[in-house]
Amino acid sequence: MDETLIAACQMFLVPTTLLFGALGVATNRGLKLLICLLGVATSGLWIYRIWFWGTLTVMDRRVALGLSGLYALAWIFTLLVQVKNTVAPGYDRR
């Protein structure tokens, strides 16, 4: 794998993983929603950066897009759950 690609993936992987930890310890619904929005934005930037990378091989591009896409789907799912909890506050499973 390309060394600069590894560095770029680490640059996005660390913040998205830390945001999952922050989501776990957040106590306020608004804060959880904000963390989810930050996670979706970070994952989106990661996909954007990999998608428009000019010198990647096909295999490196697929692996990097798979990893970033996995995080993006997890964040989108988490965001949808938080939006549902914000809209319907009577049902909150903690």
pTM across the whole model: 0.83
Tens of pLDDT, residues 67-81: 999 999 999 999 999
- pLDDT of 92 over the 70 cut: no
Question: Around Cβ 40, how many Cβ atoms within 10 Å?
Answer: 19
Spacing of C-alpha 62 from chain mean position:
17
Tens of pLDDT, residues 24-82: 898 888 899 999 999 999 999 999 999 999 888 999 999 999 999 999 999 999 999 99
Distance CA 23, CA 59 (A): 32
Name the helix (H) or strand (E) containing 71: helix 58-87
Distance CA 44, CA 87 (A): 24
